[in-house]
Amino acid sequence: MALSTIVAAPGLSRSEHRRAVRLGPRATNSTRPIDTLVEAARFDAVEVTDVTSSFLETARAWHTEFAQHESELRDIIGPTWDERQKERGEIIQAIEKGLLLRLLVSGTARI
């Protein structure tokens, strides 16, 4: 199994964690390390790679591209345009402030 996941950074204060959960994608609210969760799900040889720098680069790219093409896309996207662009900006802020991480995780099913 291989997966990517977005998590609240470890060591955040309670208010920072709440902010990470609010600014991150839905369900960014686990407080358990991902490797612990994957091992508990009966996977061995768990490896975790931090890809947060790529996460930030990609998040910025989405935000910039949609901003640059707003005139073409606003009508296509519809009434959720403003909300979705705001969410893109909030995720960028959260990553820049060290509140959110993105991880690639792999594991082998325990037989």
CB of 96 to another protein, least distance (A): 15
Q: What is the DSSP letter of 98?
A: T
Smallest gap from Cβ 15 to another protein, in A, equals 20
Angle ∠(91,63,80) on CA atoms, nearest 5? 85
Sequence-separated (6 or more) residues with CB below 8 Å from residue 84 = 66, 77
Residue linked to tokens 């994608």: 25
| Residue 10 or 78 with smaller CB distance to another protein | 78
| Binding interface with another protein (CB under 8 A) | 1-7, 24-28, 30, 34, 37, 51, 54-55, 58-59, 61-62, 65-66, 69, 72-73, 76-78, 80, 102, 104, 106
